[in-house]
Chains A and B, each alone.
Chain A
Amino acid sequence: MPKVIVVTSGKGGVGKTTTSASFSSGLALRGNKTVVIDFDVGLRNLDLIMGCERRVVYDIINVINGEVSLKQALIKDKNCDNLYILPASQTRDKDALNLEGVEKILNELKESFDCIVCDSPAGIESGAFMAMYFADEALVVTNPEVSSVRDSDRILGILAAKSKRAVEGLEPVKEHLLVTRYDPNRVEAGEMLSVTDIQEILRIPLLGVIPESESILQASNSGTPAIHLEKSDVAEAYRDVVARFMGEEVAMRFVTPEKKGFFKRLLGGL
C-alpha cells in the first residue's frame, strides 16, 4: 500500500523542508519509489533545497487546473533514481489549492509510487491543511524550544480532529516525533529541553533526533539534501530516521554529549 506522509510542525523555520528533502531522498535510496510534494504555494523552497530550481517548468497548480499532466510537472531528482519532486507554484495565490485537486493528484501518484511525502507550509491555514488532510502518517518536526513544542501540540490536535482519517473515523494518522536542531551539550547544562521532556509533553513516539549542525547550511547552500553529505552527523541521523521509519530497530544517537578525549579537552578548554 502506498503511504502518504506529511512533514509538518506548525511553526516555521524548524526544518520541515530540510527534513522533507532528506527523508524523501533516504526513502528513495532504500528502493522506495518516492515523490516529494511542496505544498508551500507562493513561498516554494523545496526546489532550492533539492537543487532542482532551474528545472522547474510546471507546478502543482498547473496540474490541479488541468493545464498539464502530472507527468509533465514531475521533476526527476539528480541524486536518486527513485525520487521525483512536484514543486509548488511560486506565483499563484495559496487559495489555488483545493482538496479535490489534491486528492486527484495523490490518487494518481499512488498508482506508481510507494511513498508520497508532503512538505507542509508553516502555520495552520489552508496550505498546511491540504498537506495533512490525506496523510496516513505524520512526521512532526519539533525544535527543543517552547514555541515549537506548543505549535507541534496544536498540529497534533488538528491531525487528530480534522484529517481525513479523523473525519471519516478511520484508524488515526500515525504520528512520529522528529526533534531537530538538538544540542546535547546545552541539554546537559540544563539550558535546553531534552528529548525525554519533549516526548513526555507531546506524548507521541520518537522517530529520531537530528543534531544542530553547521552542515545543514552547507547542504542548502549547494542544493544537496543533507542526507547525502559525507562524514556528517546530520546525514547519519537522517539515515537512522529512515531506517526506523521502515521498521528497523536502530538505537538513538546524538542524544548525549560527545565525550571529549584528553587532547580535545587540552586544546578546546574545559
Chain B
Amino acid sequence: MSMISGLLEYLRGNEKKTASIAKERLQIILAHERAGRGAATPDYMPALREELLAVIAKYIHVDRDLIKVQLEKHGEYDVLEVNITLPESIRN
C-alpha cells in the first residue's frame, strides 16, 4: 500500500473493524468445516494438493500457506478451488 492511499484510508476512517474480520474468518473456516462434515472429502485430495503445490513451487516461489486447495459443494456441482496468492514482487 502506498503512503498516499494509506493516508486516504486513514482519513476516510476505512480501517477494517475487527467484528467484520471475525465474521469473514468464521465464514471461511465454517464453510470448510461444514464441507468436511457432509460428504467426506475424497481421499485423493491430500495427494492432489501436495502435487499441485509441488508444480507451482517449481515455477513460482510462494509461501505454502498462501496456496489454498479446497473442494466445495455448490448445489449440484462440486467446485475444486485452487487459490494462489502471488507474492508482492511478482505482482508488480
- Where the two chains meet, the residues of A that have a C-beta atom closer than 8 Å to any C-beta of B are 145-146, 149-150, 153-154, 157, 161, 187, 189-194, 197, 200-201
Contact = CB atoms under 8 A, between A and B. Distances in A.
A260 B34 CA distance: 42
A193 B23 contact: yes
Contacts of B22: 145-146, 193, 197
Contacts of B37: 157, 161
Interface of B: 17-20, 22-23, 25-27, 29-30, 33-34, 37
B34 A157 contact: yes
Contact of A150 (B20, B23, B29): B29
Given A146-B25, A201-B26, A201-B27, A193 B33 contact: no
A37 B12 CA distance: 53
A157 to B, nearest CB: 5
Contacts of A197: 19, 22-23
A76 B56 CA distance: 68
A154 B30 CA distance: 9
B3 to A, nearest CB: 25
12 contacts: A145-B22, A146-B25, A150-B30, A150-B33, A153-B34, A157-B33, A190-B19, A197-B19, A197-B22, A197-B23, A200-B23, A201-B23
B34 A192 contact: no
Contacts of B23: 193, 197, 200-201
B10 to A, nearest CB: 16
Given A154-B33, A200-B23, 14 more contacts: A145-B22, A161-B37, A190-B17, A190-B18, A190-B20, A191-B18, A191-B19, A192-B19, A193-B19, A193-B22, A194-B19, A197-B22, A201-B23, A201-B27
Contacts, number: 40
Contacts of B19: 187, 190-194, 197
A126 B22 CA distance: 30
Contacts of B34: 153, 157
A266 B22 CA distance: 34
A153 B31 CA distance: 10
A190 B22 CA distance: 10
Of A145, A189, A194, A197, chain B has the most CB atoms within 10 Å of the CB of: A197
Contacts of A150: 26, 29-30, 33
A207 B23 CA distance: 21
A191 B20 CA distance: 8
Contact of A153 (B17, B18, B20, B30): B30
Nearest to A196: B23
Closest 3 CB pairs of A and B: A190-B17, A197-B23, A190-B19
Given A154-B33, A157-B34, A157-B37, A149 B26 contact: yes
A146 B22 CA distance: 6
Contacts of B27: 201
B5 to A, nearest CB: 21
Contacts of B25: 146
A103 B19 CA distance: 42
A125 to B, nearest CB: 18
B17 A191 contact: yes
Contacts of B18: 190-191
A226 to B, nearest CB: 26
